[in-house]
Each structure stands twice: as C-alpha cells, then as structure tokens.
C-alpha cells in the first residue's frame, strides 16, 4: 500500500500528465486554426495554452516532465510549434502590409485630395 507521500506524488504526476495532454491537444487545435482567418479564435487558443503552462509551472515538483511519455509528447509538439510560428509570422507580415497600404491612402487623403482618393487618373 502507498504511503501518504507516495500517494500525493502519484496524484501530482497524474495531474501533470493530464495538463500536458491538454497542452498537446491545444497545440493540435492551434495548428489547425493557424492558417484560417479567425484570428480571435487563434488568440483564444494561445491564451488557453499559456494558462495551461502556468498551471504546469504551479504544480509541486514531479518527475513527469522527465518521463519518456512526456518527452514523446514534446517531440511531437516541436514541429507543430514551428509550423504555428511560421504561419503566425506570415499572417502578421500580411497584416502589416495591408495596414501600410491603408495608411498610404489615409496619407494621400490628408494631403488635400478632399475625399477623392479613388478619383485618380491612370
């Protein structure tokens, strides 16, 4: 029979396993939504993942992070994270270009075109 310390350690390890599994699932969801147009949902998933990391960090010391099971999860997540970062950067760059184009029209309008920005001769 397990003593109280062993039982507590097993419970912490079980909770760590559960949180890491949720983190893995959220990573898969992030990858799925990283190339779609729903930036708000993407950011909600990022926030949920950050909350899970805080919960994982708040756990009492345990050995789950060093287990083969956890290492395998992390090995699967590394390439997914790289894809998510790549897609997020591409989305950010595209968004910046679009904002820059919009601002250029605003500047043109403020230079005295009096609302006739699109009345250009080509």
Q: Are 2 and 10 in contact (CB under 8 A)?
A: yes
User: Please, what is the average pLDDT of the chain?
Assistant: 83
Percent of the chain with pLDDT over 90: 52
Q: Which has more pLDDT, 83 or 88?
A: 83
Q: What is the pTM of this model?
A: 0.73
Tell me the per-residue pLDDT of 23-45, one tens digit each, with 9 for 90 and over.
999 999 999 888 767 778 888 99
Cα-based distances in Å from 118 to 98, 100, 101, 103: 17, 17, 13, 14
Q: What is the 3-state secondary structure (H, E, C) of the chain?
A: CCCHHHHHHHHHHHHHHHHHHHHHHHHHHHHHHCCCCCHHHHHHHHHHHHHHHHHHHHCCCCCHHHCHHHHHHHHHHHHHHHHHHHHHHHHHHHHHHHHHHHHHHHHHHHHHHCCCCCCCCC
Confidence grade of residue 48 (pLDDT, cut at 50, 70, 90): very high
Confidence grade of residue 112 (pLDDT, cut at 50, 70, 90): low
Rounded Cα distance, 23 and 64, in Å:
14
Cβ neighbors of 63 (< 8 A, separation 6 or more) are 13
Query: Does the domain spanning 4-112 belong to CATH 1.20.58.380?
Result: yes
């Amino acid at each position: 029979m397990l003593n109280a310390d062993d039982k507590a350690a097993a419970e912490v390890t079980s909770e760590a396993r559960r949180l890491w599994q949720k983190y893995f699932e959220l990573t898969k969801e992030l990858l799925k939504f990283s190339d779609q147009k729903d930036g708000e949902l993407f950011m909600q998933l990022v926030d949920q993942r950050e909350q899970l990391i805080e919960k994982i960090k708040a756990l009492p010391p345990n050995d789950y992070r060093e287990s083969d099971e956890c290492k395998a999860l992390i090995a699967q997540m590394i390439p997914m994270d790289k894809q998510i970062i790549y897609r997020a950067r591409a989305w950010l760059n595209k968004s910046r270009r679009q904002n820059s184009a919009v601002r250029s029209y605003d500047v043109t309008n403020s230079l005295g075109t009096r609302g006739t920005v699109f009345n250009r001769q080509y």
